[in-house]
C-alpha cells in the first residue's frame, strides 16, 4: 500500500427484504396496528483498520456470510413471528444482536424511502488483532 498515513476506513453493504408485520406497541386505531408490509432496505457499516496486506477492513463476502442468513430469515416472512414488536428500531437491533461474529458498527433499516432507524455499536470497531486475512 503506497500511502501509510491513513489506517482507518468505513465500508457498507446493503440488503433488501420484503415482509409483513403489525406493530403491537401502538393503540388499535393506529394504522400500523393493522397487518401491512414493506420493502425493507438494510445498510450495515463496518469501521476499522485497513489491512496493509489486503487493502480493506474486511472482505464484503465476510459481511455476506454474517448477514445473508439473517436477511433470508426475514425475507417474505411475517416479522411478528420473529420479533414481538417489529418496529424498524427493533429490526435493526435484532440484526445487530444476531450477526456472528459481532463486528458491525451500525445497522440501518429503511422501512420506506423516507423512514429509517439505526442502531450503533460503539464497541464495534474492527481491530487489527481481530481481522481475518
Catalytic residue positions, numbered:
32, 76, 111
Of 10, 23, 12, 9, give the one whose Cα is nearest residue 107.
Answer: 12
Find the helix or strand (DSSP H, E) in which 46 lies: strand 36-49
Tell me how far apart the alpha carbons of residues 27 and 24 are, in angstroms, rounded to a whole number. Answer: 8
Tell me how far apart the alpha carbons of residues 14 and 47 are, in angstroms, rounded to a whole number. Answer: 15
Amino acid at each position: 500500500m503506497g500511502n501509510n498515513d491513513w489506517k482507518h476506513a468505513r465500508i457498507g453493504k446493503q440488503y433488501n427484504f420484503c415482509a409483513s408485520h403489525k406493530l403491537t406497541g401502538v393503540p388499535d386505531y393506529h394504522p400500523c396496528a393493522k397487518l401491512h408490509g414493506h420493502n425493507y432496505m438494510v445498510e450495515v457499516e463496518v469501521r476499522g483498520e485497513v489491512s496493509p496486506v489486503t487493502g480493506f477492513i474486511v472482505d464484503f463476502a465476510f459481511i455476506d456470510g454474517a448477514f445473508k442468513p439473517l436477511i433470508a430469515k426475514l425475507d417474505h416472512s411475517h416479522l411478528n413471528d420473529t420479533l414481538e414488536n417489529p418496529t424498524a428500531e427493533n429490526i435493526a437491533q435484532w440484526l445487530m444482536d444476531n450477526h456472528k461474529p459481532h463486528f458491525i458498527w451500525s445497522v440501518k433499516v429503511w422501512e420506506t424511502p423516507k423512514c429509517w432507524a439505526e442502531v450503533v455499536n460503539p464497541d464495534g470497531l474492527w481491530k487489527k488483532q481481530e481481522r481475518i486475512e
